[in-house]
Structure 1
């Protein structure tokens, strides 16, 4: 309602609703005319009605009710007890010797303090917050602009790269056409010469045939043959087509293209700076945080001498076991690369897989004999013998159990069995819906992760299958094929590290995949590996890779302690 164009009615008495308001009851918060004051006071005689002129309404203090004397208001204040008290409380022994003051005095002091706070809030603090909010809003706008410019710059740089790559592709294809045409020209000339010789040979054959069929001696004597010149066959020109050798740019691409440093938010106040991003402290029992190296390094290569190398298992940070297409298992010194010991399998068959127990004993699979064996003091003991199943992979767990992956010849899904000694403790074969977890094919490797997940490389299914300790499926990893190689994922060896990363050898793409404990792809290790097979990790998280083709075990450094 606009007060300039409309009339306003005066305030009326709350009781008679006709007379103009003149008084106010601060106790009941009721507006009264003078004639109705008496009626209001006798309406509720249990209260002490504070009647004041309307203009000074709400000026009478509202005393709090005493908790011990409900009918009385607390008009006094006990400084020792820091609480309001009534007259009855003061008269009692409860506050004997305490300093008692009128509550109005305390209220006045507190009101003055609150008024000062109110002035500071209105005149200083709130305007400051307004300025800060304006600055933050401006920063947000500037940030949007700068990140937009950053994205534009990256897009432009990408377009420049596309133009240069297209140009390079056209140049390479032009070189291919030129080399092809040059070799085709030479081969065509060579073919023309051969066809000419063939024509001459046909003429020679015709002349000789006529001479052989004639009875005229003179004509026969006139026939001369010189086939020696045809006995020297034409040279064999074999064209050599150059192989395109693409540079594997996957690991280096971000570095070549350009990279962004990590962004951070800081708080700047009075010359000091505090990071707003907090890093949780690690417990003493937690492993140190490690980062993946951008460029993994091959530190050592050990020649094992096997015809084909399949398996590797770390005994310690100084020694490794290796096995391959041979009946022996060999122990090598890592730093010297020297052969320290050889153990021959009990049956004379090659070991299908090897592992090292917590106590440092060598375990191996004899697929032909259907046994799992352990080497103690260089003597071989049979631990497990299967009847209708054949073992294929084995690992030793943190609890001292053995996990064995096995298959049979009846196209039955393979299974994982946990053993304590020779006693079967657990069988893992199907998921919650009764579907097989693993295929019925060959070539399995198995390992236990730090979180007690069981990880199996299923070669037939082209997948890494991970179940939890209870055998419930967590995820399947089916590969993340490198663009430059683009071959089907072919998992072989599998191992885990202190960060609970899962590492698996990709035989086809000649690299090692690193995924986290939830199946998220992290990175490849691709540093000139050839036909990687078995994998193992030492206590420092160094990776050992068995190269089947070159019969070498390579030690690869791919992690570093994070600098926090």
Structure 2
């Protein structure tokens, strides 16, 4: 496994000021002292006589400190000089030796900074070109796999239909042939019965003639004997029937295969997949922290997607075991986790089959979330515990929240952190935990010391690290950056805004449910549109989420049906 770079590690959470006992956000950096500074410490640094000439820049523009390396000839000295003639790094004492007499030297830290910048540029190419293009090709292959599977399934269906049709024809012809045999048999039997009757009549005639002959030959009646001569009729002619002949068709497996058809791959040269060339902007790009923060998994999609002019219903699921859908989570396998307002949490597959049911103490809140590793994370408000459910249905305790009630939860797709909306006796807050359950950060007040939250009941994270929360009591969407600083609040387009389920997409849009509509905001809280309303037969939307294919799942309060929409193109 590749370890995260120092740059990446620094951006996972907000930077702490390097001044002793100061825990403020270190958004500035002293290139001389090589330490982060908050705004207050920066001002004090520039006022101090010893440090007022120091170069202080924004943290992302800092000069990276030269790694410490001791000189082998002078172990007490650091290597920090570069001899241009010898092309080797030196310490300051080595530069005064005879071997480097009259040589010119450069600051090794400046060279290191330039090399570091160059490597950053190469790393950025991976993030913005090589990785997105490769992931796009991989997704193209996945689409091809799906298309091939669908095509082969349709071919198999066609084969079955062809075979079924042929079997029906065989049955029909066989039935007709069998019926014909009965007709032929009946005709021949009728002819033979007629011949049999002919001979029955002739035998009767012969029996009468016998009686006449006996009378003529009687010695007592000589007159009859000489009266006339009896003549016997000839035996009637009949014909033997010509027996039917059955000629069985001569055919083999190949003949049947010709009738049913055969699958073959055309002898066509496969087309090469299109790989977009690296343009000049990519080759000479400058590396920034913002580029690192963007999800490389979604960057290739982001370049091609945009809002569609209309919203299209893709499909819908009737979820068993519940009567309403207050919150929806989609795991990496595409299966749904849906909760109602009565503490029931169920898992269903794409065919609507119930796979698992969990009883907890949550209600109309976003109290479950699907993590990237396939684990479903959910809260139990009464027990003040956060649980995890593995794909094999094993439930384990994950985090104990002490005296705080965990209302809503979200698993970050950026770094795996767990964001939890909390309710306490004093005031509400958002707490950040690491993937291992360690408490990292508490977000509670704005810059004026005012409480940010009253009742955060749905929570999500945007692609830039912003934490977006629906606050039921404040009747607003509260958004802070990853450091916990308040960015903006959205209070709807008219009075009575009541935010429920909330999610974000690959373009940084924020989607939030109002009482009977779903609003779409940009990354900075600007209202863009109402994308779902009663016109799309949406009544009481509560739970929303977006899957990896950019489909929007919507759960409603009055039905157990979860509807899926396509709104990006």
TM-score (normalizing by structure 2):
0.45
Q: Which has the higher contact order (CA 8 A, sep 6+)?
A: 2
